Amino acid sequence: MEAKPEGNILQSWKFNPTTIENMTIPIEYLGRDDERIMKECEYMKRHCLSVPKNLGEKAVTASIKLEILDRDYQISRKKGEIFLPLFRKPTQEETRRLRSELTAFKLTEELFKREPKQKSTVRQILKEMVPPKLLEEIPKSMPTVGDIAIIEISNELSSYDKQIGKAILMANPSLKTVLKKAGSVHGTHRIRDFEIIAGESRTVTIHREYGCILNVDLSKVYFNPRLAYERNRVSRLVEKRETILDMFAGVGPFSIQIARRNETIKIFAVDINPVAIEYLNRNIEENRMKDRIVAIEGDVENIVQQRFEGKIDRVLMNLPGNSVRYIGTACKALKRRGGKIHYYQFAEGSDALEVAEQTFKRAVEKAGRKLEGITTIRRVTATAPREWQIGIDARVS
């Protein structure tokens, strides 16, 4: 038996984790206060299986087989001995089985250092439930809107969708709901169907981007969190006292980011979806933008004809599936001396940028305007393999 150290073991070791690392302290050396300090230092008394160093591997295997190895604590070594933390004291039967596998061992109680808490990934949580080949198909990342995660689940994986949803919530405690995509974005309002697979039964949330508050109901309005950077980029291009038309405003993410950065501008934000306009009005109010943004419900073609011909400095056209149809309307809205257009469209293949540029140029010319120049053209986001949402910033006179 080892000699008991003189005095208080804590005083002699001064509780320096670098000293204590890889050592175990017999529990009987500790007083109650010492134990409290030990806890705070992340050392805990656990049942222990100790073996000579050469039996270390065998002891780990045996304790895993018996399901008694406590992986929340670190295995330690001292003077040729290995110390394994255990969940509990082994039963008589378990002790008998240890004896049959290990020629020498001791069962004691020792102090062990906690394993640093590691964040589990969704795939790690599902490792035991989902076959390895299917596990690979679970997306490593997914968009989140406020406290809602949105996931696309393949047909092969669909029988595991509830477990996947739960695992997403476990791995991301700040999320409250998981929605599974149940179809593509469709219709004039550009809405997607979702199935709630885990968490609270709701599709309404509050999303925050670049300091803006955006109330959204994902089942009733379009919203894409992946465009946050694009919206911010555009907001930086706006100049003082501009009059802006957001032709397809949705709940207002472009308008609100622009208005937040530019106090002297006026934005007319149009959408044909009445629910989007409801949320847009709420977002205007909550972001205190009533003096800068006016929400207008209706078809932008009519709205421009009725109110905005020749009145606008800058037009936003985020309707990538169909905005080509409205280039003529955007041109009509621009002031006589011209202005800026931010145009978006889907395009695929290696010549996606050229296709978008030519499409835009032809439509501007058809509208009787001149394309002065394209200041930037880029792939804003991937929408499918080899397909992108292309963004064009253009000067039109």
- For ligand SAM, the closer of residues 52 and 321 by Cβ is 321
Q: Which stretch binds ligand SAM (CB under 6 A): 21-29, 30-38, 182-190, 282-290?
A: 182-190
The answer to the question of residue 314 lying near ligand SAM (CB under 6 A) is: no
Q: Which stretch binds ligand SAM (CB under 6 A): 7-15, 28-36, 160-168, 250-258?
A: 250-258
Buried b / exposed e over 122-136, threshold 16 CB at 10 Å, is bbebbeeebeeeebe
Q: What share of the chain is helix, strand, coil (3-state, %, to 5)?
A: 35, 30, 35
Nearest C-alpha neighbor of 346 from the set 381, 304, 376: 381
Determine which residue in the list 250, 330, 359, 364 makes contact with ligand SAM, applying CB under 6 A: 250
Determine which residue in the list 20, 151, 256, 276 makes contact with ligand SAM, applying CB under 6 A: 276
- The answer to whether the CB of 286 falls within 8 A of the CB of 213 is yes
Determine which residue in the list 68, 82, 319, 341 makes contact with ligand SAM, applying CB under 6 A: 319
Cα distances (angstroms) measured from residue 217 to each of 198, 199, 246, 251, 265: 17, 16, 20, 9, 28
Q: What are phi and psi of 243, to 5 degrees?
A: -105, 125
Determine which residue in the list 43, 105, 194, 222 makes contact with ligand SAM, applying CB under 6 A: 222
| In the complex, residue closest to ligand SAM by CB | 250
Q: What are phi and psi of 325, to 5 degrees?
A: -65, -20
The C-alpha atoms of residue 67 and residue 62 are separated, in whole angstroms, by: 9
Nearest C-alpha neighbor of 90 from the set 104, 74, 108: 108
- For ligand SAM, the closer of residues 165 and 253 by Cβ is 253
- For ligand SAM, the closer of residues 42 and 301 by Cβ is 301
Helices 228-235 and 253-261 sit at what angle, rounded to 10 degrees?
40
The answer to the question of residue 189 lying near ligand SAM (CB under 6 A) is: yes
The answer to the question of residue 318 lying near ligand SAM (CB under 6 A) is: yes
State in angstroms the smallest separation of the CB of 187 from ligand SAM: 8
What the block records as the tokens of 278 is 């409801």
Q: Which stretch binds ligand SAM (CB under 6 A): 17-25, 161-169, 236-244, 267-275?
A: 267-275
Strands (E) across the chain are located at: 43-52, 76-78, 81-86, 106-113, 144-145, 148-151, 177-181, 194-199, 204-209, 212-217, 243-246, 266-271, 293-297, 314-317, 339-348, 371-384, 387-396
Q: Which stretch binds ligand SAM (CB under 6 A): 38-46, 59-67, 222-230, 366-374?
A: 222-230
- x/- contact string, 281-310, with ligand SAM (CB under 6 A)? ------------------xx----------
Size of the site for ligand SAM (CB under 6 A): 21
State in angstroms the smallest separation of the CB of 227 from ligand SAM: 6
Those residues with Cβ within 8 angstroms of residue 36's Cβ, 6 or more apart along the chain or in another chain: none
Site for ligand SAM in 141-160 (CB under 6 A): none
Interaction site with ligand SAM (CB under 6 A)? 188-190, 222-224, 227, 248-250, 253-254, 270-273, 276, 299-300, 318-319
